[in-house]
Amino acid sequence: MANAGRSGAVSLLLNNRLAAAGVALLALIVAVALLAPVLPLADPNATAPADRLMRPFSPDHLLGTDALGRDILARLVWGTRVSLMVGISATAIAAMVGSAIGLVAGFVGGRIDGLLMRGIDMVMAFPYILLALAIVAVLGPGLLNALYAIAVVNVPFFARNVRGMALGLSRREFVDAARLSGQSGPEVLFAEVLPNVMPVIVVTMSTTVGWMILETAGLSFLGLGAQPPQADLGSMLGEGRKVLFNAPHVSVVPGLMIFVLVMSINLVGDGVRDVLDPRLKSGALARPSARTRVERADAPVATTPAAVLELKGLRTLFGLGGREVAAVRDVDLLIGEGECLGLVGESGSGKSVTAMSIMGLVPSPPGRIGGGAAFFRGRDLFALSDGEIRRMRGSAVAHVFQDPLSTLHPLFTIGDQLIEAIRAHRPLRRRTARQEAADLLALVRIPNPRLRLEAYPHELSGGMRQRVAIAMALANDADLVVADEPTTALDVTVQAEVLTLLNRLRQEKNAAVLFITHDFGVVSALCDRVAVMYAGEIVETGRTEAVLAAPAHPYTRRLVDCVPVLGEPERRLDAIEGRPPPPGALPKGCAFAPRCPSVAPVCREAPVAVRELAAGRTARCLFPLVGAGHV
Ligand code: ADP
Ligand code: MG
């Protein structure tokens, strides 16, 4: 598994064209530098006064000679070797010392943290090339002393980065758990904290090696690093300066080498950073855009323009590692004025992706709309401009999400957030908006609304936060409220309260609701109609009572059977065996066939189409459990 992960990371790195070019260049330079002792090169330190300042491409001297007649090619290869070694060693030392300081400071905290970080601040208080100069001045010129100086001035970068991470990690639950299991401080530090900080250390290293090589070259250029006759890239540059006008190649060659070396290291460093950022693992190396990309083969026309929402043949795809899978396929849904439609299905069936596709909230990449349309009162939402969609978000169509804590901003009071939601769509004065916010809190039955406006999200209970989220969704009298499992994170009594509230608000405000849940019990309490989703497809639709009383699709039947009924304790609550197929590996025929109790051979042959069993009642099944006569 670890191997698969590693080769995945390497192939991702090489997929990034710039990083791949950097890797190739760097590998070439490192290989030549490593092979310097066995390559047929002249002695880099042998002077030949007769051959001074020969031009490049002279016989025996491919890159010419310098002021003392030494072969530039040989000096370049040996000098690169020295510069690389110094740069890499300085990075390793700085990383080790800096990370150790940062880890201890962040993990132990308190006085030790203060002491260590003030020390680091003192180092950072000097411009670092000056500090390096001062250190070399004290230690005396020489390559090794330059290496120490460069390492010391770079320690703060590692220390500060790592301290921040370690500080955050030392308060996390898994670290507490390790402590409670009886591990000692150092054990927790090395086993729990260090592995989580490692990516940051690696990224900082890969992005600072180039810097350190430059800094070493700078010190050598000033005569404080490599001492004659030893060559490194900086000292070669310094020697070339004296003959810059009559023999420019003496300084141009090492200068170009520094440029190519540092550039290739930086390209690799950037590539490594992108690969280690897990958010970029799926999809291209780009940040998601503000709206889902629409690239659809077909653009159907609305059949029921009066409906608040009509989905027709919606198809949403995700690009995963070079291929595209459809998480949602050919979804048709209809929500009328003031109607509540329940969208039911087990986790992973594509309910959230369907809901997020409506207003273009699916992250792109990796997601895109691959077909179909979403009509809001007859207008094709996928054809609107970004500005029009932005104006509709939160005003015409509002969302309530599953976890109210993550949708509310932790650093603002709920009053501020409600007022912001109101004023985003209406040019109200702050005072008026504040009054409206208090009214909204009263509407969702939060006691002492004026006082509660000053509360921060963490001061409220889960149920209250979800009420605030609902109040926000209602702030601008949305025509359609999309509620994505709004009660799943709440306990049963609070869930019942929130459902009652939603139901009452729906009637008061006459808003249409798309209510997403995995629980048929909740559907029966709230929804007029229900659509059942399985593996990205709608498998059954109908009025709630009809579907509950006589499910037509075997999957619906099993879902309905899972709901406990009060007063029937002897009823068996069977779980549905097996797992739904992943979107990338759908069976050829009916997606439910592998788990279906009444499967026939013909079910596995070809995809099953939706059939209309009665008006407003459909099922995607060749053998529906109820015939047309029963519904
Ligand atoms: P649920 O019905 O539980 O809400 P979702 O709609 O969240 O299910 O997910 C449906 C499918 O889409 C899942 O198989 C999931 O793997 C896939 N999916 C959802 N979001 C992403 C994403 N950002 N990148 C890749 N695949 C995704
Ligand atoms: Mg979901």
pLDDT at 629: 46
For atom 15 of ligand 1, the residue with the nearest CA is: 348
End-to-end CA distance of the chain: 51
Pocket probe mutation, ligand 1, options 281, 316, 353, 488, max atoms within 8 Å of Cβ: 353
Q: Ligand 2 centroid vs 577 CA: distance in angstroms? A: 21
The answer to whether the CB of 103 is under 6 A from ligand 1 is: no
pLDDT at 486: 86
Conformational region of residue 350, where left means phi above 0, alpha means psi within -120 to 50, and beta covers everything else: left
Q: Ligand 2 centroid vs 582 CA: distance in angstroms? A: 15
**What does the DSSP 8-state code read for residue 71?**
B
pLDDT at 103: 94
Query: In terms of DSSP H, where are the helices of 375-429?
Result: 386-392, 404-407, 414-423
Pocket probe mutation, ligand 1, options 352, 357, 362, 586, max atoms within 8 Å of Cβ: 352
The answer to whether the CB of 351 is under 6 A from ligand 1 is: yes
The answer to whether the CB of 316 is under 6 A from ligand 1 is: no
Proximal ligand: closest to the CA of 367: 1
Q: Give me the domains of the chain, ranges plus CATH numbers.
A: 10-34+75-280 (1.10.3720.10), 285-393 (3.40.50.300), 395-527 (3.40.50.300), 534-630 (no CATH)
Return residues with CB closer than 5 A to ligand 2 (ion).
352
Q: 353 phi and psi, to 5 degrees? A: -65, -40
**What does the DSSP 8-state code read for residue 444?**
T
Q: How far apart are CA 335 and CA 264, in angstroms?
A: 56
Q: Virtual CA dihedral for 351, 357, 359, 360, nearest 10 degrees?
A: 140
pTM: 0.67
The answer to whether the CB of 366 is under 6 A from ligand 1 is: yes
The answer to whether the CB of 583 is under 6 A from ligand 1 is: yes
CB atoms within 10 A of CB 172: 13
**What does the DSSP 8-state code read for residue 191?**
I
pLDDT at 2: 39
At 436, which amino acid appears?
A: E
| 10-residue stretch averages of pLDDT, the chain, 631 residues long | 52 79 94 93 88 87 89 93 94 96 93 94 87 90 92 93 91 89 90 88 87 90 88 90 89 93 90 70 58 84 88 89 85 91 90 92 85 90 88 88 80 92 89 92 87 90 86 86 84 80 82 89 88 93 91 90 72 72 85 88 90 89 72 43
For atom 4 of ligand 1, the residue with the nearest CA is: 352
The answer to whether the CB of 580 is under 6 A from ligand 1 is: no
CA 265 to chain centre: 25
pLDDT at 631: 43
Bridge partners of 516, per DSSP, are 343, 484
pLDDT at 283: 47
Residue from 590, 607, 531, 580 nearest 348 by CA: 580
